[in-house]
Amino acid sequence: MASFRSYLSLAHAGWVLVREGVVSALPSDGMPAPARFGHRVAGWFARRQAKDREQSERLSIALNKLGPSWVKLGQFLATRPDVVGKTIAKDLELLHDRIAPFDTDEAKTRVEESIGRPIEDLYSEFNEPLAAASVAQVHKAVLKDTGETVAVKVIRPGIRNRFKRDLDTFYAAAGLMERFVPEAARLKPNLVVDTLAQSARIEMDLRLEAAAFSEMGDNVKDDPGFRVPTVNWELTGRDCITMDWIDGIKLSEAEEIRKAGHDLEALSVTLIQSFLRHSVRDGFFHADMHPGNLFVAPDGDIVAVDMGIAGRLGKKERRFLAEILYGFITRDYLKVAQVHFDAGYVPAHHDVHSFAQAIRAIGEPIHGQSAETISMAKLLTLLFEVTDLFDMETRPELIMLQKTMVVVEGVARTLDPAFNMWKTAEPVVGTWIARNLGPAGMLEDAKEGLDAARRLVHMLPEMAEKAEALSTDMETMIKNGMKLDPETTDAIGKAEARNNRWGHIGIWALVALGGYWVFWG
């Protein structure tokens, strides 16, 4: 049960969103009458200057005022258009951290505590922060023992405790959604917050980001034209990462890249093929590949930084992705539909032929376009919209892939407006399909099936023992009934009464506080 403090924090967040004009900028079409009235009232209390701003700017200002945890929530929800809608998700994609950097001396303290050695023993130079975000900031430094220039990413002080407090507020909001918005049940808002919490916990332990860099580095070590910084594990801990300094040009600066003598068209091909290899071949991809995180090194390699957010696809999801892409290429819409049903993504009570008809409505217009204008990211976006009509369960890993693909494809088209997505993707997707869906893939599936059967055989004695113990317990329960001792029942009764009492008090206090903010805030 959410605490009274969580509801107060949620009310404060709502007031900030109202004051910054976020609520009044939302579309009111289709709202019930009470909601339309509340929407109108929100417009009365919006700041005058907020009304002149774009929706995306209003969101950015409001979330930055609420603090780093809310900025992280906004960035996370930008990857979940299934939850917040396409329009808001697109606005959130433009969200930029406007968090002031923390003091360099504090950063040095964080490094010393994390590594366990004085800063003077580690670096001969440790400069002022170059970039500050909601979770961490980056400093340029020079190693004392080798003279090598490195980047040091340092966690923001107090961010973990702040996020833990704000997480209770997010759960309170999710609980209210599930209780009062029946349509939200399918979106599983509590599960969305669970996913955010897990993602943030990973991002706030920089050893795990270092491990992501290491894993990606191993995966791409033989790939042409793409790499990630190498981590210095000796100078990496929970609160800091030390890694290669990347002296390159951001991929967003196309004209500067051209002036440096790099081939923009070749870079667009490398970017897309690298991303597809990571997704389809490795099942592990950088999920925050916006232009600010991608550099062109002097040798022409694309270097990706900031791996705080990464996505994973299991073999089932990779096969699903490859088969639907292949089905669209061959115009086998029934096959695409069947793949959804076989994977269990669409409930069995729906008709596969009706689903195939809906998918045909996506595929046929695409086949009428020139190859240069066909967007794989748009295809997946339309596909997820159609599957929503057939109660397809939310697949966070596939939505994250689709959102990342939108960004990566957009970057590729800024480098080469005539970019041919399908021609570029075919060598990677085609090779994976031939390897995994052909005879070699069937043999590998058979091998995995035998391995699973072997593990099952080894587990049978333990399973039989547990089943026998469970049977004995059930017989005892049926014979004697399930009883709770008096102390337990008394404690349960007192806890329930206490929760009800504080719940009523909290609701009336929240109403009173909300009235105060409305008339005097």
Round to whole Å and give the CA distance between 414 and 405.
14
Round to whole Å and give the CA distance between 63 and 257.
33
What's the CA angle centered on 234, arms 230 and 239, to 5 degrees? 90
- CB of 257 closer than 8 Å to CB of 296: yes
Task: Identify which of 286, 151, 142 has the alpha carbon closest to the alpha carbon of residue 227.
Answer: 286
- Catalytic (active-site) positions: 288
Task: Identify which of 310, 308, 341, 311 has the alpha carbon closest to the alpha carbon of residue 323.
Answer: 341
CB atoms within 10 A of CB 30: 7
Q: Which residue has the tokens 């951001």?
A: 250
Q: Which residues pair with 311 in a beta bridge?
A: 285
Beta strands across the sheet bearing 294-296: 226-227, 302-304, 294-296, 249-250
User: In terms of DSSP bridges, do strands 240-244 and 284-286 run parallel, antiparallel, or are they unpaired?
Assistant: unpaired
Identify the three-state secondary structure at position 118: coil
Burial of 229 (0-12, 13-18, 19+ CB in 10 A): buried
User: In terms of DSSP bridges, do strands 149-155 and 136-143 run parallel, antiparallel, or are they unpaired?
Assistant: antiparallel
Helix 315-330 and helix 333-342: axis angle, to 10°? 160
Q: Which residue has the tokens 């596909």?
A: 383
Q: Which two tokens stand for residue 32?
A: 């019930």
Round to whole Å and give the CA distance between 126 and 107.
10
Round to whole Å and give the CA distance between 16 and 167.
18
- CB of 92 closer than 8 Å to CB of 74: yes
Q: Which residue has the tokens 């001792």?
A: 485
CB atoms within 10 A of CB 316: 12
Three-class secondary structure assignment of 119-144? HHHCEEEEEEEEEECCCEEEEEEEEC
Burial of 23 (0-12, 13-18, 19+ CB in 10 A): buried
CB atoms within 10 A of CB 66: 20
